[in-house]
């Protein structure tokens, strides 16, 4: 049996609750699976994300670490933000670079996608997808050193060190895709 025919046999019987905020929609539903079993299922609807692997002056740079409520600690992450598709990946990446590194004016950067279609973040409980790009920021751009949290050589060895130091699985996936491009 193909996955599409299995999926066609699932039914949403009723919605139990829906909670909306500006960031997410939390939905609880009663479902019947392809074997006739009924159960309660919770899921989250949220905007897609765009992560930016930033190459700058032969370095991979990350913004300052920030507090993450989900894990209740400060973490080191790639530059990133929401990607709702209303703007292109390029424009969204430029806005992320402006925000994360406090840049003003036009951002001179060559921006290349690392994935054509979004990667599912957690397909069991979320509709969110992750997109990743590389932004090779022009060396003439002045990024304030106070806004750079950490840097690694923009080499395979540096990329592997960065990947290994990251605890965010999404960030690690983006760096792994960057590494794949460097080694292929």
Report d(CA 35, CA 9) in Å as an integer. 8
184 residues of the chain, pLDDT tens digit each: 444 555 568 999 999 999 999 889 999 999 999 999 999 999 999 999 999 999 999 999 999 999 999 899 999 999 999 998 889 999 999 999 999 999 988 889 999 999 999 999 988 899 999 999 999 999 999 999 999 999 999 999 999 999 999 999 999 999 999 999 999 8
What per-residue string of b and e applies to 123-152 under the rule 16 or more CB within 10 Å gives b?
A: eeeebbbbbbbbbebeeebebeeeebbebb
**What's the whole-model pTM score?**
0.89
Q: Are 70 and 169 in contact (CB under 8 A)?
A: no
Structure-block tokens of residue 179 = 């590494």
- Helices H, strands E: what count in the chain? 4, 12
Maximum Cα–Cα distance across the chain: 62
Domain with CATH 3.90.79.10 in the chain: 47-183
Q: Cα–Cα–Cα angle for 26, 27, 30, nearest 5°?
A: 155
Output the DSSP codes for 67-85: EETTTTEEE---EEEEE-S
CATH superfamily ID and name for 47-183: Nucleoside Triphosphate Pyrophosphohydrolase (3.90.79.10)
């Amino acid at each position: 049996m193909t996955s599409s025919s299995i999926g066609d046999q699932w039914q949403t019987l009723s919605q139990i609750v829906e909670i909306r905020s500006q960031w997410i929609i939390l939905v609880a539903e009663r479902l019947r699976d392809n074997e006739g079993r009924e159960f309660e299922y919770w899921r989250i609807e949220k905007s897609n994300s765009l992560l930016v692997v930033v190459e700058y002056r032969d370095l991979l740079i990350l913004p300052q670490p920030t507090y993450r409520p989900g894990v209740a600690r400060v973490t080191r992450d790639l530059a990133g933000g929401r990607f709702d598709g209303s703007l292109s990946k390029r424009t969204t990446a430029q806005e992320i670079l402006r925000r994360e590194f406090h840049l003003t004016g036009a951002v001179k950067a060559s921006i290349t996608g690392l994935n054509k279609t979004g990667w599912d973040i957690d397909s069991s409980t979320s509709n969110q997808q992750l997109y990743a790009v590389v932004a090779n920021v022009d060396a003439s751009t002045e990024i304030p050193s106070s806004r750079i949290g950490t840097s690694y050589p923009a080499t395979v060895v540096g990329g592997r060190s960065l990947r290994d130091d990251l605890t965010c699985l999404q960030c690690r996936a983006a760096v792994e895709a960057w590494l794949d491009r460097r080694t292929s």
